[in-house]
Structure formats: C-alpha cells, structure tokens
C-alpha cells in the first residue's frame, strides 16, 4: 500500500510540474487529433501496442516484463513528443511533454531497480 501511495504522489508531482511548465511557457494544450497527424497518431499507437502485446506474451521472467513496461511507456510518450513537435508547429507543447516524460522515465527506472 505504501508503494502505491508513493507512486501516486510521484506521478502527481510529475503532473504538477507539467502544468507549471505549461504555465511558464504559455502553452495551451491541443490534441494531435485536431491536426493532419491524426491517422499517424492512431497507427503509431496501435503498432506500439501490438508490439508490446506480442512481446509480453512470450515466455520470460518478471524482470524482463518490468523493463518491457518501461520501454512501452517510453515509446508511447516519445512518439507523442515527436508528433507534437511535428504537427503542432506553433506550440511548445512538446517541450512540456518531453520534460514530464523524462522525469517519469527516471521514476520508473528507479522503481524497477528498487523492486527487482
């Protein structure tokens, strides 16, 4: 239970840091679905999901599965950042997404290492 509370607090901190970055940079959030990148976003997320599902159902240890989760989430957020950079040209939204994802990545790596 303590682990769950700690994770929730840490991800709340990441969320709040993202909101502060948005406010500092004057970013108004937009969806990629409102741009020509809508179909690329759907196809890319679907492809990343299928690759993850396919690799998750192979026989492997729990440690490898934990790292696959980290890789899956990193791939999704990295893809999101690239699409924001490409299709939301007038916005600096990708900077906020990138900073939040880097913080989240390090939190995930820390917990995977801590709870091996």
Residue ranges per domain, the chain? Answer: 2-114
The answer to whether 37 and 83 have CB atoms below 8 angstroms apart is yes
115 to each of 45, 63, 67, 75, 112, how far by Cα in Å?
28, 9, 12, 22, 5
pTM score > 0.85 for this model? no
pLDDT score, position 1: 67
Give pLDDT < 50 ranges for the chain: none
């Amino acid at each position: 239970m303590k682990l769950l509370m700690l994770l929730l607090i840490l991800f709340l901190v990441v969320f709040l840091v993202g909101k502060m970055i948005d406010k500092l940079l004057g970013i108004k959030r937009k969806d990629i679905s409102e741009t020509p990148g809508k179909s690329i976003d759907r196809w890319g997320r679907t492809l990343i999901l299928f690759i993850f599902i396919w690799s998750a159902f192979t026989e492997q240890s729990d440690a490898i599965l934990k790292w696959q989760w980290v890789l899956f989430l990193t791939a999704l957020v990295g893809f999101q950042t690239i699409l924001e950079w490409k299709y939301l040209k007038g916005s600096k939204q990708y900077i906020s997404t990138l900073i939040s994802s880097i913080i989240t990545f390090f939190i995930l790596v820390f917990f995977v290492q801590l709870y091996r």
